[in-house]
Amino acid sequence: MGVFEQGLLYAATTLILLFSGMPIAFALGGVAVAFMLIFMPAMNIQMIPEILFSELDNFTLLAIPLFILMGAAIGKTRAAEDLYGSAHRWMYKLPGGLGVANVIGCSVFAAMCGSSPATCAAIGGMGIPEMRKRGYSSGLASGLIAAGGTLGILIPPSVTLIIYGVIVEVSIGQLFIAGIIPGVLLTLFFGFYVIYAIQKEKKFALTSDEGSISRELLQEESFTWKQRWETLPRLAPFLILIVLVMVAMYGGFATPSEVAGVGALAALVMVVAIYGVYRWEDIKVILSGTARESCMIMVIIAMAFLFTYVMSYLHITQSAAEWMVSLDMSKWVFLFWVNILLLVLGFFLPPVAIILMVTPVIMPGILAHGFDPIWFGIMLTINMELGLITPPVGLNLFVINGIAPDITFKEITWGVLPFIIIMGLFIVVLAVFPDVAMWLPKLLYKGG
Amino acid sequence: ETKTIKISHQFPGGTIDEGDFRDRLCRKFAQEVEKRTNGELKFEIYPSGSLVKSKQQFNAMSMGSLDMSLYPLAYSGGQIPETNITLMPALITSYEQGAAWKTAPIGKELTRIVEEKGVKILTWVWQAGGIVSKDKPIIVPDDVKGLKTRGAGKAMDEMLAAAGGAITSIPSNEVYNGLQQGVLDSAVTSSGSLVSFRLYEQAKHVTTARDKSFWYMFEPLLISTATFNSLTPEQQKIVIEVGASMESFAIAEAKKDDEEVAKAYAAGGATVHDMDEAAFQQWRKIAKASAWKSFEEKVKNGKQLIEMAESVK
Amino acid sequence: MKTCWRGFSRAVGQVNTLMGYLSAVMIIICTMALTYEVVVRYFFNAPTSWSLEFNIFMLVASTFLAAAYTQIKRGHVGIGMLDSIMSARWNRWRYLVADLASLIFCSFVSYYTWKFFYMVWDQGWVTESPWAPKLWIPYFFMAFGLTSLSVQCLIQIIDEHLVSLEKGE
Ligand code: NA
Ligand code: NA
């Protein structure tokens, strides 16, 4: 059996197992083990435990359970209510103000932590229930958090950009700087879309007769300046926490994972000391939510690596990339197909795995066609962000599923679709106007 | 009948003529063997740990699930304590001395230890490393006092700690950020990584390995015994010969990398320093009292191994 | 027989739930260890040699300790796209097959993880750092967690599918 047939069979088996309803983690692992048994030397089976461990043996991943803990702790208090209540009072005149506040929250949080699932967990854990309470559809609420969360790997610091920079041997500093404007622009576009979508949902709520919760959207409210200001003191603990995390991160006190640890501990202390959450009943909820969500994500990450290992061993990914480079294509046609390849791989694989396997193969082609590697790194990262929210394997979708189990996978998938389109269009914009990414690094690194 | 052999390594991938020399060495080896076996042996090269993660490569070969790897042997120090001698501070004084290990008793012993685990050494490769720092250059041991430093390697850490450094264990992909944010004041790593991680964007000073360096790492090209035994005697002969023929290329390229550090850091606006014999001897004195001593005490035959290594001229 | 099984299934559930809480406690311990590291490094310029590996071991241990508890709560997410398309009867059969496949996979991997754990323990592997903790520790938690996950899968298959088949059709 050739590599091409093996690749098709691998994809088909994965789809069948995923749609069987088997948990994602076991489905990915199961396909990997089955192919190991059939197509690979038997010794590989012995290596499975070490392969799983080698993926989790990563300090950077530690940020994920820590931010989940932080989100779960804050989620148990009135803090989220305070924050969104205040944001609502300040932004109620802006249609979709709460949604926009969430997008901005994701963006600010993303600027602190290099992980997209962690951003999703931290903001979504508080934001999704509040938005739904105010009548946002489940699809929109979860979609904007899932998409907003992906900004974690675009807005610096970003682990993904570091890995890309090391493989391609370009300046990580320049890559970071290049990610800023696209990150801000994507935040803006997401915000505009939320405003538009909320108008649409309002119209729909007006015309529909059913007493659905979306009627909440139509409630007319108004707040005086006094009512706005009086919410601010209640935000103080929150602001202290954010400042603490920011200072620890940018003040040179700690690495991203350490910041996550400090932030989570501070959040726990705050929750116990200020909000008085100390009864076993409340603590239990925090513990159980943290254990379940982080276990779910980490087991998927470990199994996805096993899945990736088999794909790499059978040379499926590399062959696909090599074949593409070998075709005689014009500059832009080549770039188009590279993006399609990344998109398709993104359906199934996590970003880091794709970068590790694909960039060494496609980079010679990218450089030969005269593309700037810094600019391409940003385009690649946005494409990787897409992978985080495309089914069947999209880490952010699973995080949302974890924090809001009553929202169906289907609703989430439909909810992120508009954001997927925005990001796809943004890749086109980036291709037509490379300076969107390159202006800032060119300005700051004039001397080279 | 053709056989495909997988070579894995953790360094950036490139082409046969450009990029990290450790990747190029693998590609040159593959090309030459393919040619001399008339295509009976074919190769797939997996750079930057895209098949097996860096630390797991040795076990993968040992168990027979990976064919070949260009691998820093000291990564196996937790499993085969003797291999810590291949990243022992201030033990190796030059590339020539490192190359001489191959035929010396220490080389024979190392070969025996590795073969006991089901792995054969094909190409003897050493690479030196340098020191980057933010505020002041690090040339003699006193310079590192009180600085938050990443040593990359157990024995290196022991020596730097003995010199008064505050050893900070952070993952390699955080070194750049760590320097930027101030979590780290300095770091020690191979010349290749000094350049590819672009630390000159964050560091003001670099001490290169052009003259002397206390940091020499053994990163040989290895083959799984299971794979080796599955080859025909003719193929085995070719693999061994081509492997050995890569050694002069490795030395030349490693030296080029040491020079490249100076160029890249000067271009990046950092001040370039070198370590002379006197400074090296200061480091060696501290290394003997710390890292060497602990190796001699904790590893069976440790004392003997150090003596063997020292006797190589 | 039936009461005997009920008792067993409940006891396993309770132990696994306890492990789930323990897993979250481990994450809390990580927050303290990390904060301690940041403080001693920044204010006393004395970083620890153990923080990195200690926290990674805790991460691995907490991930696998919580695996069975997450399974109890059906927290290992799957793609439920066919749920609304297929009939209830078909869905039940589909989930029975999926659960059996999960059970086979988890027990397969846990068997090999115990084997690997034994090798690491037997050969006394440690990590490469000066601190050099024993490497069997994370593998033990992996093997233990995967085994309790497998047992939990088996219990759920028997409790949910067989009992509902017995009652229903
Ligand atoms: Na970020
Ligand atoms: Na995806």
Q: Which residues of chain A make contact with B52, given a CB cutoff of 8 A?
A: 51, 54, 309
How many whole angstroms from its chain centre is CA A250? 22
pLDDT of B96 > 70? The answer is yes
User: Given pLDDT bands bounded at 50, 70 and 90, which one contains residue B79?
Assistant: very high
Most confident of A2-6, B169-173, B211-215: B211-215
Contact between A400 and A145 under an 8 Å Cβ cutoff? The reply is: yes
Q: Mean pLDDT of residues grouped by 10 in chain A (448 residues)? A: 89 88 90 95 92 88 84 73 70 78 80 71 82 87 92 80 79 82 94 90 71 56 78 76 71 78 89 85 90 88 89 87 80 91 85 78 82 94 92 84 84 93 95 90 63
Give the full edge-to-edge strand order of the sheet including B41-46: B41-46, B3-9, B68-70, B221-224, B119-123
Which chain C residue is nearest to residue A60, measuring alpha carbons? C56
- Report the run of H or E that residue A262 belongs to, with start and end: helix A256-273
C62 with C26: CB under 8 angstroms? yes
Residue B56: predicted pLDDT: 92
Burial level of A442, CB count in 10 A (0-12/13-18/19+)? middle
B86: nearest Cα among B137, B54, B124? B124
Name the A residues in 15-44 with CB < 8 Å from any C CB. Answer: 17-27, 29-30, 33
Chain-centroid distance, C-alpha B174: 20
Where is A159: in which H helix or E strand? helix A159-168
Tokens at C133, concatenated: 């903790």
Which pLDDT score, from 0 to 100, does residue B24 have?
A: 95
- The answer to whether the beta carbons of residues C103 and C153 sit under 8 Å apart is yes
Nearest to A13, CA basis, from B242, A2, A29: A29
- What sign for the dihedral angle of Cα A90, A94, A100, A104? negative
Cβ distance A286 to C33 less than 8 Å, yes or no, reads no
CB atoms within 10 A of CB B300: 9
Which residues, in sequence order, are CB contacts of A427 under 8 Å at separation 6+? A339, A379, A382, A383
Query: What mean pLDDT, rounded, does chain C reach?
Result: 90
Distances (CA, A) of A69 to A72, A292, B80, C29: 5, 11, 38, 12
CA distance A113 to A248: 12
Which residues of A touch chain B, with CB atoms under 8 Å apart?
40-41, 43-44, 46-47, 50-51, 54-55, 57-60, 157, 159, 162-163, 165-173, 249-256, 309, 312-313, 315, 318, 356-357, 360, 364
Q: Label residues B50-64 b or e (16+ Cβ within 10 Å = b).
A: bbbbbbbbbbbbbbb
Contact yes or no for A292/C20 (Cβ under 8 A): yes
Q: Which H or E run contains B166?
A: strand B166-167
Residues 6+ apart with CB under 8 A from B302: B81, B82, B295, B296
The Å distance, Cα A377 to ligand 1 centre, comes to: 15
Do the chains contact at C52 and B170, CB–CB below 8 Å? yes
> pLDDT-based confidence at B173, cuts 50/70/90?
low
Interface test with B, best of C34, C116, C128 (most B CBs within 10 A): C128
Q: What are the chain C neighbours of B75 within 8 Å (beta carbons)?
A: 128
A293/A300 Cα distance (integer angstroms)? 11
Q: Which residues contact B1 (CB under 8 A, 6 or more apart)?
A: B40
Q: Looking at residue A244, what is its pLDDT? A: 78
DSSP code, position C48: -
Q: What's the pLDDT at A447?
A: 42
How much is the pLDDT for C86? 82
Provide Rg for chain C, Cα atoms: 20
Query: Angle A116-133/A138-150 helices, nearest 10 degrees?
Result: 160
pLDDT at B201 over 50: yes
Query: CB-based contacts of B82: which residues, under 8 Å, 6+ apart?
Result: B110, B113, B299, B301, B302, B305
Chain A CB within 8 Å of residue C130 CB: no
* Half-sphere exposure in the Cβ direction for A258 (13 Å, CA): 31
R_g of chain A, CA atoms, integer Å: 22
> Alpha-carbon distance A2 to A74, whole Å?
52
The tokens describing A323, both together, are 């074949």
Q: Helix, strand, or coil here: A86?
A: helix
- Name the nearest CA neighbour of B291 among B165, B117, B205: B165
Q: Which residues surround ligand 2, an ion (CB under 5 A)?
A: A 346-347, 387, 390, 393-394
pTM metric for this prediction = 0.87
| pLDDT higher than 90, residue B39 | yes
Q: What are phi and psi of B9, to 5 degrees?
A: -155, 170
ipTM of the complex: 0.92
**Residues of chain C where predicted confidence (pLDDT) is lower than 50:** 169
Token pair for A304: 């996805």
The confidence score (pLDDT) of residue A404 equals 85
Q: What's the pLDDT at C169? A: 47
- pLDDT for B251-276, tens place per residue? 999 999 999 999 999 998 999 999 99
Cα of A394 from ligand 2 centre, angstroms: 4
Q: How much is the mean pLDDT over chain B?
A: 93
Tokens of A407: 């929202």
Distance CA A256, CA B204 (A): 23
- Find the A228 Cα to ligand 2 centroid distance in Å: 41
Residue A152 Cα to ligand 1 midpoint, Å, equals 4
What's residue A210's pLDDT?
A: 56
The Cα–Cα gap between C24 and A293 comes to 10
Which helix (DSSP H) or strand (DSSP E) does residue A44 occupy? helix A43-56
Identify whether the C-beta of residue A167 lies closer than 8 Å to the C-beta of residue A376.
Answer: no
**pLDDT value for A271:** 86
Distance from CA of A81 to the nearest CA of C (A): 24
For residue B166, which residues of chain C lie inside 8 Å, CB to CB? Answer: 41, 45-47
Using a CB–CB cutoff of 8 Å, tell me whether B161 touches chain C. Answer: yes
The pair of three-digit structure tokens given for residue B287, joined into one six-digit string: 């290394």
Task: Give the per-residue pLDDT at A448.
Answer: 40
